[in-house]
């Protein structure tokens, strides 16, 4: 995955446009109604998103309808999977250590007595 993909999504307006398009295909005017910038700004951000491969456009007469493309999101997911495995391994080790500690506490006579009082 390229840094430019993350830079594209890092812009708050582009991220907001992506969120609007999650619900499906929208015209530029529909998108303008859901973000805090004018039509020319939305069009500029849509060109950037289209250039980065996040959106495609379907012309219908004078209108342009934009929709999300799945490929860049799959790429992001594949990239994140590498890191997900890293933290899952750490969480598994932490869980095992906790289980060992609980097992040791439960087998200790004082721990059994104090747990009965609670």
Side-chain-facing half-sphere of 43: CA atoms under 13 Å: 6
CB 28 within 8 A of CB 64: yes
| Sign for the pseudo-dihedral over CA of 89, 91, 97, 99 | negative
* Span 1-26, pLDDT tens digits: 677 888 899 999 999 999 999 999 99
Tell me what pLDDT residue 105 has.
79
Extract the runs of DSSP E, i.e. beta strands, from the chain.
Answer: 26-27, 55-60, 63-68
Cβ neighbors of 36 (< 8 A, separation 6 or more) are 13, 16
Rounded to two decimals, the pTM is 0.70
* Span 102-118, pLDDT tens digits: 887 777 666 555 555 54
> Is the pLDDT higher at 107 or at 81?
81
């Amino acid at each position: 995955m390229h840094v430019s993909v993350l830079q594209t999504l890092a812009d708050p307006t582009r991220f907001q446009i992506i969120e609007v398009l999650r619900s499906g295909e929208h015209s530029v005017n529909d998108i303008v109604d859901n973000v805090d910038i004018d039509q020319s700004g939305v069009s500029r951000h849509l060109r950037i998103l289209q250039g980065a491969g996040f959106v495609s456009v379907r012309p219908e007469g004078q209108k342009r309808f934009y929709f999300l493309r799945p490929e860049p999101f799959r790429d992001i997911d594949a990239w994140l999977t590498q890191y997900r495995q890293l933290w899952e391994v750490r969480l598994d080790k932490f869980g095992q250590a906790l289980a060992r500690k609980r097992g040791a506490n439960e087998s200790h006579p004082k721990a059994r007595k104090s747990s009965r009082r609670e």
